[in-house]
Amino acid sequence: MLQLRYGLMNSPKRTQREIAKVLGISRSYVSRIEKKAIQRLMEEMKRINPK
């Protein structure tokens, strides 16, 4: 989902609404998933490079 949202790996950036439509879920659910994914990435970055 982050790949769609932020245009990673040469895909175009999309809004939460566009992602929700493609996946057949609500925009608020997309938002919750996005928030969790970013939180996990931040935790992993802290684990790899604690400062």
Residue 51 is predicted with a pLDDT of 73
Question: Which pTM value belongs to this model?
Answer: 0.83
Residue 19 has pLDDT above 80, yes or no: yes
Q: What is the mean pLDDT of the chain?
A: 94
Task: Decide: residue 51, CB within 10 A, 0-12 exposed, 13-18 middle, 19+ buried.
Answer: exposed
How far is Cα 48 from Cα 34, in angstroms, rounded to an integer? Answer: 21
Task: Tell me if 16 sits within 8 A of 31, measured CB to CB.
Answer: yes
